[in-house]
Amino acid sequence: MSLYKFAKTVVAILLFPIYRFKVIGKENVPKHGPVIICSNHISNLDPPVVGITSPRDIYFMAKGELFEKKILGKLLIKIHAFPVKRGMGDRNALRKGLGILKENETLGLFPEGTRSKTGTVGKGLAGAGFFALRSKAKIVPCAIIGPYKPGKRLTVIYGKPMDIETYRENKSSAKDTTEAIMGEIKKLIDNHNS
């Protein structure tokens, strides 16, 4: 068993009883080919939560500072994380992300770039749109609906893959494409709460 699979199993055993997960729409994640899962961001636990509820193994970007500690950095790489320098266009991270998608793997992104302090969906950064436009990946919006409180139900919803082809054909900007992705995430939350 790979370290990724082992970590996924351990984290699932720890978190499932605490947060009483309800997972909706797992079947919307394509089984094959490159996929980008784009989720809202409300807690530091979001990456492991998406990781254990997704039917596919996911590669996540993580803030570069976490990789400065040697042992933690090596561990993160083994569980499919790679560093990104925040606040600037990190070309290495962009190349790494595109490389993952070329290998028909799954990239996990939190387009807001930081946690929402209010729990509402914020503005997304251009990165998600960049990957969507520059790859042939299917974009799957994902909504995490809290609160993260022991004993309370935590819902994770995977929406149907978005049709990004129109944005590619129209040569839409990365920012506009990200906005469309954020709109789909917000719709998942609104439809669940209505």
Burial class (CB in 10 A: 0-12, 13-18, 19+), 57: middle
Report domain extents, the chain: 3-193
CATH of domain 3-193: 3.40.1130.10
* pTM for this predicted structure: 0.93
Region label for 181, one of left (φ > 0), alpha (ψ between -120 and 50) or beta (otherwise): alpha
Per-residue pLDDT of the chain (194 residues; tens, 9 = 90+): 789 999 999 999 999 999 999 999 999 999 999 999 999 999 999 999 999 999 999 999 888 888 888 888 888 888 899 888 876 578 899 999 999 999 999 999 999 988 887 778 989 989 999 999 999 999 999 999 988 999 999 999 999 999 899 998 999 999 999 999 999 999 999 999 86
